[in-house]
Amino acid sequence: MPTAWSPSQYERFRSERLEPVHDLVALVEPGVRRALDLGCGTGEPTELLLAHLGDAAEIDAVDSSPEMLARAAPRASARLRFRQGEIASLESFAGFDLVFSNAALHWVPDHRALFRRLLGTLAPGAQLALQMPNNQHHPAHVAASEVARQEPFAGWLGGFVQRSAVEPLERYAGWLWEARVARLRLLERVYCHTLARAADVVEWLKGSLLVPYLERLDAAQARAFLDAYAARLRKVIGEDAPYLYTFRRMFVWARAAG
Ligand SMILES: C[S@@+](CC[C@H](N)C(=O)[O-])C[C@H]1O[C@@H](n2cnc3c(N)ncnc32)[C@H](O)[C@@H]1O
């Protein structure tokens, strides 16, 4: 199955995608020596985090996409290491005093199990700093699953529909509380992005939400899917130019008891 992760497509909205990265990095408190970045992508947020942490820190960064890691590779140094890996198969987070992730965990299923492993193995005093897109109820995002359920796409996709793994905020609060974290901050923020036109949402989502669909289709099927999605989008969000694209995101910051 070809992968549709494309660093160039993802970076088309680079400045908008970096806004929450700056907000997430700002939540991280000083004193970190060894950090882990889950789903590091092109490594730009990882590099910003390293600058924030200062000279004593080093970061291990993991991503499953060879294409994204190839883009990240020139950023590597003795203090910034990238490797290919699957977040869901990481069993222990004990070696780190910060576990960081920007816009990646919504791709990892079963957050109950993931947070059990995270919170169960976090080192004493370690920080958790996570940002998860939580925009699955936006009409443009709902439209993607509606197209996927229509024929011929449902047949081509074998019934696959991409679902966000993100749980209601209160559930994370409960898990963190059960884990007896020493301190906790949960934030929700809606980013307001002005796109040149409503149709640009297709270009934005080709770099993220649409990836799991496109990588399951051949080139002709992918073109047909994108055409159907663009048509559906015109119906549900219209053709405003410029277009206000609202994007809801959730931030989870915690410090394990020391
Ligand atoms: C939306 S990008 C975010 C990348 C980067 N953190 C950023 O903020 O620019 C999501 C990244 O998560 C990676 N990813 C998705 N699911 C993953 C998984 N299960 N294990 C490891 N990486 C994953 C993708 O390859 C992609 O690079």
122-155 confidence digits (pLDDT tens): 999 999 999 999 999 999 999 999 999 999 999 9
Q: At what angle do helices 219-237 and 139-149 cross, to 10 degrees?
A: 130
Residue 3, pLDDT score: 61
Cβ neighbors of 100 (< 8 A, separation 6 or more) are 24, 28, 35, 36, 37, 38, 49, 129, 130
Domains in the chain: ranges and CATH: 7-255 (3.40.50.150)
Q: 159's torsion region: left (phi>0), alpha (psi -120 to 50) or beta? A: left
Centre of ligand 1 to C-alpha 239, Å, is 30
Rounded Cα gap, residues 104 and 7, in angstroms: 14
Whether 90 is in the pocket of ligand 1, judged by its Cβ within 6 Å, is no
Residue 2 has pLDDT above 80, yes or no: no
pLDDT of residue 5: 80
- pLDDT tens-digit series, residues 11-33: 889 999 999 999 999 999 999 99
Q: Residues near 103 by Cβ (< 8 Å), separated by ≥ 6? A: 17, 20, 39, 41, 131, 132, 133, 208, 249
CA of 240 to the centre of ligand 1 (A): 30
Number of residues assigned to the chain: 258
3-state secondary structure of 68: helix
Q: Does the beta carbon of 40 lie inside 6 Å of ligand 1?
A: yes
- Mean of per-residue pLDDT scores for the chain: 96
Instruction: Assess whether pLDDT exceeds 70 at residue 240.
Output: yes
- Residue 224 phi/psi, 5-degree rounding, is -65, -40
Nearest CA to ligand 1 atom 9: 41
Q: What number is the average pLDDT over the span 45-72?
A: 97
CA distance 40 to 25: 13
Token output for 131: 């940002």
Q: 215 CB under 6 A from ligand 1?
A: no
Q: What is the CB-side half-sphere exposure of residue 244 using CA atoms within 13 A?
A: 5
- Probe residue for ligand 1, chosen from 87, 101, 134 as the CB with the greatest number of ligand atoms within 8 Å: 87
pTM (2 d.p.): 0.95
Find the 41 Cα to ligand 1 centroid distance in Å: 5
Instruction: DSSP letter for 30, please.
Output: S
pLDDT tens by residue, 210-229: 999 999 999 999 999 999 99
Mutation to probe ligand 1, out of 68, 91, 210 (largest number of atoms < 8 A from CB): 68
